[in-house]
Amino acid sequence: MGEIQDQLFILIGALVCLKYLLKCVKFSKYFLLRLWNPLPKSFFRSMGEWAVITGAGDGIGKAYSYELAKHGLNIVMISRTLEKLQAVAKGIEQTTGSQVKIIQADFTKDDIYENIKESLQGLEIGILVNNVGMVHNYLPSHFLSGPDKIQNLIHCNISSVVKMTRLILRDMEIRRKGLILNISSGAGRFPCPLYSLYSSTKAFVCTFSKALQAEYKEKGIIIQVVTPYSISTPMTKHINPNKITKTADEFVKESLDFVAVGDETCGCLAHEILAHLLDFIPSWVIYSDLAQNIFLIHCTNYLKQNSNIQ
Ligand SMILES: NC(=O)c1ccc[n+]([C@@H]2O[C@H](COP(=O)([O-])OP(=O)(O)OC[C@H]3O[C@@H](n4cnc5c(N)ncnc54)[C@H](OP(=O)(O)O)[C@@H]3O)[C@@H](O)[C@H]2O)c1
């Protein structure tokens, strides 16, 4: 009996070790891949002539627009404020020599897609970055204390991803080539209390993206969901950058190196490490009242002290 018990414990121990070994192997690919198998310089341009970026006038979308133009693509920037789009477009054209087309659209509305479709007609689109997104409440808060912007949030964070993908994927399928980057969030990787609505919309983006990649990978199309944590942008009230909080430019440069790692990435090593550490915290701890109260107080204080919040 004692011998069987010993063998059972050894077996359980071995399985636990194997589980963590597999996690380590999976994790190591994030830095090994960049050293052993970096993407060729021509990779992004080989997808097609144009890249379309939503929410491109500022923050992460603006950084993707610059970076993909540096890789030789022409850029379609879609965003809300025309003056910002014009200024960024001029900067990109002057510094990279790429062509830039701008489309003014508000993704909280549902009637913008006919106009976008017409404006994209005839372009060979190789890359789509579904970047546009908004946060319901910048400071953590309970659902009922947050603003009533539910429909706007759903249109902007969910419908935009689905509808832009529908507009562009069909041509990619015909050409059997294309890259779609869907910008979700670290808050979409698990149900995140005090950001319930934002977290849920971003979880949709993760699920949609991974299911779609399974459907279309055989057709030569790469679909990746990017789940960053903190980035200094207007959305985060230009929170001070540090080892974890990246600038949009730093983040986008690094995230493009991770395009080949699989259907999901945090986009940079620091956030990948953070995600793995958070995975170790049992969910009963995260969802306890005590943890939520601590998070509410400390996160609010931190954000107030480190960002341009009025
Ligand atoms: N920043 C972070 O820490 C962080 C972390 C994880 C995930 N994300 C995700 O990354 C994406 C980009 O975030 P960000 O921080 O760069 O955002 P941001 O700073 O708020 O905005 C970037 C751009 O999106 C445009 N935009 C916002 N709402 C729009 C709308 N309804 N219609 C059209 N354009 C709109 C803005 O337009 P205007 O030019 O008019 O201002 C701006 O040009 C989002 O999906 C966000 O959820 C961000």
Task: Determine which helix (DSSP H) or strand (DSSP E) holds 51, and give its type and residue range.
Answer: strand 50-54
| Confidence at residue 6, expressed as pLDDT on a 0 to 100 scale | 86
Query: Considering only CA atoms, which residue is closest to atom 25 of ligand 1?
Result: 55
Q: What is the pTM of this model?
A: 0.94
Q: Is the pLDDT of residue 31 over 70?
A: no
Task: Determine which helix (DSSP H) or strand (DSSP E) holds 8, and give its type and residue range.
Answer: helix 2-36
Q: Name which residue leads in pLDDT, 276 or 116.
A: 116
Q: Please tell me the distance between residue 134's alpha carbon and the centre of ligand 1 in angstroms.
A: 6
Q: Is the pLDDT of residue 32 over 80?
A: no
Tell me if 294 is assigned to some domain.
yes
As a whole number of angstroms, the distance between CA 122 and CA 48 comes to 12
Q: Give me the CATH number covering residue 153.
A: 3.40.50.720
Q: Say if ligand 1 is within 6 A of residue 199 CB.
A: no
Whole-Å CA distances, 226 to 162, 163, 185, 187:
16, 18, 7, 11
Domain limits at 195?
44-306
Structural domains in the chain (count): 1
Cβ atoms 195, 230 nearer than 8 A: no
Task: Determine which helix (DSSP H) or strand (DSSP E) holds 300, and give its type and residue range.
Answer: helix 289-306
pLDDT digits (tens, 9 = 90+) for 153-190: 999 999 999 999 999 999 999 999 999 999 999 999 99
What tokens were used for 258? Answer: 């991770």
| Confidence at residue 163, expressed as pLDDT on a 0 to 100 scale | 98
Return the ligand 1 atom nearest residue 228 CA.
Answer: 6
What tokens were used for 54? Answer: 């939503």
As a whole number of angstroms, the distance between CA 61 and CA 54 comes to 7
Whole-Å CA distances, 94 to 48, 57, 250:
22, 16, 21
pLDDT digits (tens, 9 = 90+) for 283-292: 999 999 999 9
Q: Say if ligand 1 is within 6 A of residue 231 CB.
A: yes
Q: Is the pLDDT of residue 28 over 90?
A: no
Tell me if 106 is assigned to some domain.
yes
Q: Please tell me the distance between residue 267's alpha carbon and the centre of ligand 1 in angstroms.
A: 16
Pocket test for ligand 1, best of 79, 162, 183, 237 (most atoms within 8 A of CB): 79
Tell me if 103 is assigned to some domain.
yes
CA angle 72, 77, 81 (to 5 degrees): 145
Tell me if 73 is assigned to some domain.
yes
Q: Please tell me the distance between residue 55's alpha carbon and the centre of ligand 1 in angstroms.
A: 6
Q: Please tell me the distance between residue 174's alpha carbon and the centre of ligand 1 in angstroms.
A: 31
